[in-house]
Amino acid sequence: MKKKLNFLCILAVLFGFNISNAQEFKIKNNLDLLTKELTEKISPDSIAKHILNLQNFGSRYAYADNRKAVAQWIKNEFERLNYNCILDSFEAENYNDKKFMQYNVIAFMPGIGRTEEVYLIGAHHDCITYNDPKNKAPGADDNASGVAAAIEIARVFSEANFQSQATICFTTFAAEEIGLYGANDFAKNVKLDVKMMINNDMIAHDVEPPYTVNLCEYEGAGNLKDYAVEIAKKYTSLKMTFINTYLQYSDSYEFAKNNIPSIFFIEDEFSPYYHSINDSLSRCNMDYCAEVIRLSCAMLIHAAGKFNQTETPSFSTIIYENTLNITAFIPSDSKVELSLIDKKNKVIRSPETYTSNNKYIRVDFSLNNLNKKAKILRIKILSSGKTIDHKLKNY
């Protein structure tokens, strides 16, 4: 019997720093700055490497003998990027009613504010061809490109040490091509409070600019379409079409059926190499693929990174150009103290006081001179006495 998964509470950690070089500056919309910084790090070359590694399996057909090895490779990639990751197994039947074990891949970046709230980006990792799919199914566009989107965003977040308020889940699904089995199993059995599901399926075929992506919108998706359009205009060069022809033919359909707000991105110019041995990296456009991935990345940052409007401080963090940027949401015109604490709860750096005028306070810490005894950054709102501790580790 399949065991139902509950939410995985994974504590995130930050890098150590020396507070002596701290410098305050105010910013009206910090998420906008973070989004621009992070989406710029999406790399066509890096995406190509992810796709090539998946293509090099020869086949990722759901009934091929290497199906677990494919899932394990994806899991290893997330773990290499310092994510907690699992293989979630389930059974799928073929046309002879024979059951085959399949493996979804699930990786988490836990939130530091709204931890139970989950924003999910997913894609199917299996592929198919019409002739000899067990041996010849490169599946570069369909759908190594979608898997590459999840891995590439995970890479950018990890390398920048970005921490969001809500939890982000990176998932790749098995057995999509034979009946959406992986997404069906996940949506029914993995008990998470998913607020948004982004599905990327075939996002690497567009010949030349101006690039266009097709957005498939499901019933019950709320304002996701308008949200995606707004994000695309602000952070990408993408044009959009809104054709729902493929709604029922990709993993997001199973989430929508389970009342999870879902959105599905697919190339507007449909690949002529679909489900053929010619669906290879050489026929994919990495600049186009990167633009679509930037859209998903920006949507995740804005949805999962937004701050709670509360009296308790909440945070977003990023490592950028050898500097740790911490932004705290605090009440307007409040003063906060920042101090460094060792593992015995002893103050090793006297508190320094900062004032917020715009409900945000952003402080930059140089990573050049490290204080290795620092284990916690403690932030205290002086007016209310409320505090929050942020765990650190050596850089």
4 C-beta neighbours (distance < 10 Å), count: 9
pLDDT of residue 311: 44
pLDDT of residue 23: 30
Cα–Cα dist 387/379, whole Å: 6
210: cis peptide before it, omega within 30°? yes
Query: How many other C-beta atoms lie within 10 A of the C-beta of residue 81?
Result: 18
pLDDT recorded at residue 305? 82
- At residue 355, φ and ψ (nearest 5 deg) are -120, 135
* pLDDT attached to residue 338: 74
pLDDT at 393: 53
41-305 and 314-393 have identical folds? no
How far, in Å, CA of 132 to CA of 7, rounded? 39
Q: pLDDT per residue over 57-93, tens digit each?
A: 999 999 999 999 999 999 999 999 999 999 999 998 7
What is the model's pLDDT at position 34? 84
pLDDT for position 121: 98
C-beta pairs of 353-356 under 8 Å, 24+ apart in sequence: 353/382, 354/24, 356/26, 356/328, 356/330, 356/331, 356/332
The pLDDT value recorded for residue 370 is 47
∠ CA(200), CA(262), CA(33), 5° rounding?
Answer: 70
The CATH classification number of 41-305 equals 3.40.630.10
Q: Where are the domains of the chain?
A: 41-305, 314-393
- Model confidence over 275-316: pLDDT tens digits? 999 999 999 999 999 999 999 999 999 999 875 444 455 555
Q: What is the pLDDT of residue 343?
A: 77
Q: Please tell us whether the domain made up of 314-393 is placed in CATH 2.60.40.10.
A: yes
Q: How high is the pLDDT of residue 328?
A: 60
Residue 4 has a pLDDT of 43
pLDDT score of 266 = 98
Distance set, CA 319 to CA 58, 167, 251, 315, 323 (Å) = 37, 19, 33, 14, 6
Ranges of the chain whose pLDDT falls below 50? 1-29, 308-311, 358, 370, 394-395
What count of Cα atoms within 13 Å lies in the side-chain half-sphere of residue 26? 11
Per DSSP, what are the bridge partners of residue 281? none
Whether pTM exceeds 0.85: no
